[in-house]
Structure formats: C-alpha cells, structure tokens
A and B are shown apart, each in its own frame.
Chain A
Amino acid sequence: MTAYIVRRLVLIVPIVIGILFVTFLIKALIPTDAVTALYLGSVSEDKAAEAIAAIRAKYGLDQPWYQQFASYVGNILQGDLGESIRTRRPVAEEIGFRYWNTLILTFSALVVAVVVGVATGIVSAYFKNTWLDVTAMSVGIMGISMPAFFFGLVLIFIFSVQLRWLPVIGSGDFQSLILPAVTLGLIEAAPLSRITRSSMLDVMSREYVRTARAKGMAETYVVFRHALPNALLSILTIIGLQIGNLLGGAFIIEVIFGWHGIGELAVKAIQWRDFTITQAIILVSAGTYVLVNLVVDILYTRADPRIDYG
C-alpha cells in the first residue's frame, strides 16, 4: 500500500510538467504578454519601448517559449514559483491565501453536494416512480442544465437583495460562504443524486437485499447496512470526478460571489496576461486534483476490502 502511494505521488511530477508544457504552448500562441498589457493603457508604447524591452528581458519574456519553459520548470523544481509581473510580488504570496479560500469553498460545496445528492438519490431509489422520485429527479435535471452563474445570481437576488439574510459582498466569513457553497454544491448534487439512485436501484434488486427483508430486518437497516455500502463504490468514483468539477466550477462561482480564491484570480490573471500567476494556479489546481483522486483510490480499499493495490 505504501509503495503504491509513493508510486502515485511520484507520478504527479510528470503529469504536472505535462500540463505546464501544454500551457506554455498555448501561451506561445497568444500575441501579448503581461508587460505589453501593462503599457497598453497608455497610447504611446513607442516612447517607452526601451523600458518595455528592459522589463521583458528581466522576466525572460524575450526568450523563445521552450527556453522559458525550461527555466520555469527548473525554478519550480527548486520550489520557486517566481513573481507576478503585474504586482511584482512573489507568486506564493499572491496565491497562498487564495488557495486556502478556494479549498474552503470547494470542500464546503462538496459537503453540500454529498449530503443533498446522496440523500435525494436514496430517497428516489427507495420511493421509485412515486411523485417523490419524479420531483427529485426533475429538480435534478434542472440542476444539471442550469448555468452556475445564473443560479448564483438568482440566489443572490432572493437571499441577499430580497430577504437580506446574507451579505452580497464576500468578506470571507461563514455568512458569505453559504451562498457560493450552496450554489456550487447543489449544481454538483444533481448528477450525484442520479448516480446514487441508479446504483441503489441496482443493489436493492439483489438477492441479498431480498434475503435481508425476508429475515424481517428493519427497512432502515436494509437500506443503510446492506444496500448503501454496496452502492458506495460507484458513488465514490463520481465524487472523485466531481472534485475536479468543483475546482473548475469554483472559478466562475468565485467571480460572481466575490469570493477571493484562485479561480477569481485566474480569470483576471488571464486578462492581465500575468502568466506566472496563471501557471502557478494551473499547477496547484492540477496538483490538488491528482492528490484528491489518490485519496479516493485509497478510500476504495475501505469501501470494498476486495480491492488491493498490492
């Protein structure tokens, strides 16, 4: 098991370098860089041409992309993320507290998604084809099809503007976490609910469930002790995939709710062409995703003791 974990951790390095390689390729295709973006507001870049060239040289932006890539990877391996070209501050300082905020939002949303998604899935499966099931699944379809930014604005309108229960401006406290976490969580609850329902239905028709019922066991015991653990494996797989969605979804949600995470920064960094920031965010997001999936894989062995990674 330990050997497996170590192997997976080592594999993260080539994955992340591969992702960085792709971002550098994309960057090479974009005509402007952060320095030009800083000077674009002023009409006569010509007058500042020397100054611009000096800054560009300082950040190595005058080199071909593959050289920039090589020195970037070299610095990363030494733990140096570089500095933001826009603010001239260390990248680690710029994204550190934001990464923490994004983790808080993502995992709060995950809790909402799992609680709501699994609960409605079980209820739907148990009361299959009743009005309860139909309602839950219809609401789920709405959740899947509704764009996150629209749903977010609807929630702001109801709970902040009309009812005045929650603040509009995200100050980072618990009150301002509620709306973004619920928005993101409910959207991800929908697919989770459908998967839970179908795998529960599958399990509930098995013979051991019928046997359990025949023995006269209480229904809650049958559902939670016999059926759910067996349905858990596919639910876990979906949750692992959804963390990726949540991290991605957080990018939009953070902008709408003014939640100061890496997603909000990423959107702006792209507009500013501040690639050291963009790359660092891609790096930590990809790293988080890979790590979370490793944790999910380890949880498989708990959910199903037959799984063994040797």
Chain B
Amino acid sequence: MKRKNLYLASIVALSVLMSSHVAFSADDTLRFRLGEDPESLYNVETKSLTADAVINQYLLERLVYFDQTGTPKPWLAESWEVNDDQTELVFTLRDGIAFHDGTPFDADAVAAQFNTILDPATASPQLPSMGTLEKVEALDAKTVRFTFSEPYAPFFIALATEGGGINSPTAVAKHGRDYGRNPVGTGPYMLERWIPGTEITLVRNPNYHQQIRDDVANKGAPKPEKIILTVISEEGVAQAALETGELTAATLQADTIEQFVDNPDFKTIIDKTHPNLVFLEFNHRRAPFDDPAFRTAIGHAIDREAAVAAAWGGFASAALSPLSLGIPGFDGDIAQSHGTPFDPEKAKALLADLGWVDSDGDGLLDKDGKTARFVVRSYAGFSHIERTLQVIQSNLADIGIEVELETSDWGAFYPSLLQDDWDMDLMRWTNNDAGILTELFHSPGHRKTLPPSPKIDDILARCDQTMDPSLRAGCIRDAQKALLEEMIIVPILTNWVVTATQSNVEDYTIDYLGYLIPGDLWLSN
C-alpha cells in the first residue's frame, strides 16, 4: 500500500511538472537582456556601457539629443548660445519639468551634475570626456553657463551621452554613497526594484511630462507599463530565452543572430551605422612598422570582405577610413581615394621596393638577415575578433609574412601594449564623435607608440576646437586624409549591431546615438 502511494505521488508530481509550461507574459511587461549587472546606476561613477544604456534610455534625460543627421537638438535645454571665442556655452532650460522624486529640474541640478564630475575628489571616470570644461554656474533658475579653457567641440556628444544625463540633486544628497542603487531622473521610467546580479525592474513614470524630442513618435506617456532587465551574460542562454519568449528582445552577436533573421516569429533591427571600428594598429617604435610604406603594404594585404564574411557572418561593412562610417564627418570618397583596398600583388611589390624579399627560399620575406615574423596582439573572449585575427594571419601569410597571434583578456591585453614587446594589435573602439581620432592618434597616441607628427596633431587639435559643424566636418575630412597618408592604422571593418525582437514588438526605434526610445515601443496582439 505504502509503495503504491509513493508511485501515485510521483506520477502526480511528474504530471504537474510537465503541465506547468513556463508562463510567458501577455501583459504589458517587456523583458530585455542585460549583458552584465551594472556596478552602479549613477552616471558620475560609472563608465560602463551597460549602465549607460539603463541610465540614459529609461531613467535620465539630457540637455540635448542628436537627430538622424548627427546634429545636436534641444531636449531638456530650450536653446543655447556660444560666445565669440567659443569658450562659453549658455543654456536656457525648459520649465515645468520635475524629477521622479518631485524635485524641480533647474539650473542648479545641471550645475550640480557637471561640477560633481569636475570635482577631483569624485574621481569620476566621466572626467576625461568633459575635455576643457572648467566650471558650470547657474545664472538663474533657467540659465546655466558652461565655461571652457579653450573651445571643445566634442562636448555636445558628452552632453548627449553617459555623464550628460541629469540626476536629481536632492536624491543624490539624500542617498549619499548608495545613490548608485537609487537613481532618480526625469526620464519616462523609474527604478522600481533592483535585485543585484539578477534583474532590474523599471516602472512607467506616472507624472511624465510631454516628450520633447522631435524624433520621438509617442509624445505622451510611454506605452509599456513595466520593463524588466534580466542579467544574462551567456550568449547561448539569451538566444534560448528569446526563442522561448522569455525575452522580448535581445542584442545578440553575429553568430547567434543568424537564426532569427528571416524567421517569421522574430523581427531584426540592424544598425549598420554603429560608430565602431575594428582596426590593425602598429607599434611605431619598432622597425619596420615605423615606415609608412611598410604599413601601407600591410593595408593592401588585408582582405576585408573575407573578414566580414568569415569572421562576422556578413554582419559588418568593410572599412578603409580611420573614422568609423557611423561618426559624423566620415567621408567615403577620401576612404576610396586614400585607402588601401585589398591588392596582395601591390602589397608584395611595395614590400619588394623596401627590400623585403624571400632571399633564402623559406617562403617568408626577409631583409638584412631579419625574417618577417611578427607578433599580433588582441583581446580574448570574442569569437568575431579571434576569427578576424585568423583572416589577417592568413592574408599576411599569403604575402610572405608570418605572424604569431597572442590574445589575453582586455584587462591584461590593453596595458600590455604600453610595453615594447609586440608589433601589431587588433583593436576595436566605439565612440560617437570624431574626437575619438584625437584620443587615439594625437601623438603619442593612446598606447604611447606614435612619434610626434606636427601635421596630424595640428589638424586634430583644430577639429576639437572648431565648434561650427560645417567647418568642423571639413577639418575631420582633412584628418582622415592625413591619417591615411601616414597609414597610422589599417582600418578593417565596422560591425553591425543587431537586435532580435519577438514578432509582436512594434516601433523598436534606436536613435542616432544608439539609444532605444522605450516610450515608442508597443506590443501588437
């Protein structure tokens, strides 16, 4: 009898288990993936892109946004003026906007945000992006003045991203060091709950003001009631959760996205102008990489289309310009006229002119007794980068250069470039402004390998100081040309950022800077 009961019980248990299909939300809750748990949701004390997405898409708003042409437009600011020496920016702020905690949005809040970043005691990782900004003063409740030691054009991007989101000064003071767990902004969503390492629940802001931005379709309150951001670091898990409907949408890597493209159960949103660039860099301190002609030869040896196809599954655009095609100022004509398209014969001819020939018949080039064997470094953990390295390795082998690939995780790889024991590295940067060219390539360069180059340094400095957008575009064009003439780096590709959503997700819109506009989203049924 006893045994029979146990048998019955297990049957019942099993059938309960099997019938309890996972319940998927049909309600007004959206579930998105977070690649990692943000360390903080206070944009003054974090530089993480994951944190930035949570903070600036949902919780906080900025003084300006960028429209689809890459031009700054007023948002929390109504208008602004620049003085004649372009060292003062005076913003007039909008009226009648309040933070989630009821604190009115005013000039003091703006001044507090930026002065906290500028204060050395804060040790804010956002400090470098403030450039030459010296101080911020509230002139009256609606007017705020930014003073610079010298003109700094990339500042508008800084205003529209990351540290530019304005926090409630009352909440910052109230929570002190715990503010990063209790962010308060003026955005369409408010933080409801944060289970560390697990999920962040956002709820619609019931007192949301009219949406101000012109590029937003829904001016009223956002449609989805709740947004749950779930921490999923494993790509395979995110892929499975999207398939089962546990996630509404997820940004996935090229390898995993393929099965969602052309699948009627899903939609894909492909950002082909993401402002990133994958490129080959050189240790300019070491021969033969100190010679522009040698670097140009390497540029002609790289088959970018092969890298796009083999390493990125076709989800990338080949690049010939040192500026990503997603950044304002990119000039495709200069890329064509001054770039190094794939031409292995030309590469070999250039190398032969420099004295690199296979004199001992071992299949590798040599010159003055030195064989063409070099070290290429990059970071581990990203299959696309690792496969790009393999394409480069095989391209260079075809022209008689042998390279050894060394990868380690970013935290070990990036500092290792400050040493002198490498020849080339494969790098990838994402940045929304051409100011990245200065950050990376103004001598001595971000890894201190570049010799002084008055021509390039002057152009880059001029670009950063030119506030007028059309004058600046001309300057950025000159910079691309100068960097290509010296072949400071070899551009390879810009990868696309692809998001897959369930088929009932409508108006999943990404703005010019790559931020999702959550208020426009809705679910059709």
Contact = CB atoms under 8 A, between A and B. Distances in A.
Of all A-B residue pairs in the complex, the 3 with the closest CB atoms, nearest first, are: A51-B123, A43-B439, A47-B128
Contact of A268 (B22, B36, B414): B36
Given A31-B412, A43-B440, A258-B237, 20 more contacts: A36-B415, A39-B47, A40-B410, A40-B415, A41-B49, A42-B125, A43-B429, A43-B439, A45-B128, A47-B128, A51-B120, A54-B120, A87-B39, A89-B181, A94-B196, A97-B196, A156-B240, A160-B22, A169-B232, A169-B246
A160 to B, nearest CB: 6
Most B CB contacts (10 A, CB to CB) among A36, A164, A172, A258 go to: A258
A167 B446 contact: no
Given A44-B446, A268-B233, A166 B123 contact: no
Contacts of B4: none
Given A36-B415, A86-B39, A169-B246, A258 B125 contact: no
A194 interface: no
Contact of A161 (B196, B240, B412): B240
Contact of B234 (A87, A256, A260): A256
Interface string A18-34: 00000000000011100
B284 to A, nearest CB: 17
Interface in A48-103: 48, 50-52, 54-55, 86-89, 94, 97-98
Given A260-B198, A271-B411, A51 B241 contact: no
B230 interface: yes
Contact of A40 (B21, B124, B177, B411): B411
Contacts of A258: 230-234, 237
A47 B415 CA distance: 16
B420 interface: no
A188 interface: no
Contact of B412 (A30, A41, A166): A30
B120 A41 contact: no
B49 A165 contact: no
B287 interface: no
Contacts of B123: 48, 51-52, 54-55
Given A31-B412, A168-B237, A168-B246, A43 B22 contact: no
Contact of A256 (B37, B39, B236): B236
B128 A44 contact: yes
Interface in B313-332: none
Given A55-B123, A165-B21, A87 B409 contact: no
Contacts of B364: none
Interface string B113-141: 00000001111110111000000000000
A37 interface: yes
Interface size class of B (residues with CB under 8 A): 35 or more
Contacts of B436: 43
Nearest to B416: A31
A273 B411 CA distance: 8
Interface string B219-245: 000000000001111101100110110
Interface of B: 17-18, 20-22, 36-37, 39-40, 45-49, 120-125, 127-129, 177, 180-181, 196-198, 230-234, 236-237, 240-241, 243-244, 246-247, 409-412, 414-416, 429, 431, 436, 439-440, 446
Contacts of B17: 165
Contact of A32 (B39, B180, B412): B412
Interface string A135-175: 00000000000000000010011001100111111011001
Given A88-B177, A167-B246, A265-B197, A51 B124 contact: yes
A160 B411 contact: no
Given A51-B120, A54-B120, A169-B232, A36 B411 contact: yes
A251 to B, nearest CB: 13
Interface size class of A (residues with CB under 8 A): 35 or more
A223 interface: no
Nearest to B181: A89
A168 B240 contact: yes
Contacts of A160: 22, 240, 244
A244 to B, nearest CB: 24
Contacts of B409: 271
Contact of B243 (A37, A161, A255): A161
A38 interface: yes
A168 B436 CA distance: 39
Given A156-B237, A271-B409, A175 B128 contact: no
B128 A255 contact: no
A300 interface: no
A264 B197 contact: yes
A38 B47 contact: yes
Most B CB contacts (10 A, CB to CB) among A30, A48, A255 go to: A48
A48 B128 contact: yes
A40 B232 CA distance: 23
A81 to B, nearest CB: 16
B137 to A, nearest CB: 22
Contact of A88 (B124, B180, B410): B180
Contacts of A171: 198
16 contacts: A36-B411, A40-B415, A41-B48, A43-B439, A44-B128, A48-B125, A51-B120, A88-B40, A97-B196, A98-B197, A156-B236, A157-B240, A169-B230, A169-B246, A271-B409, A273-B411
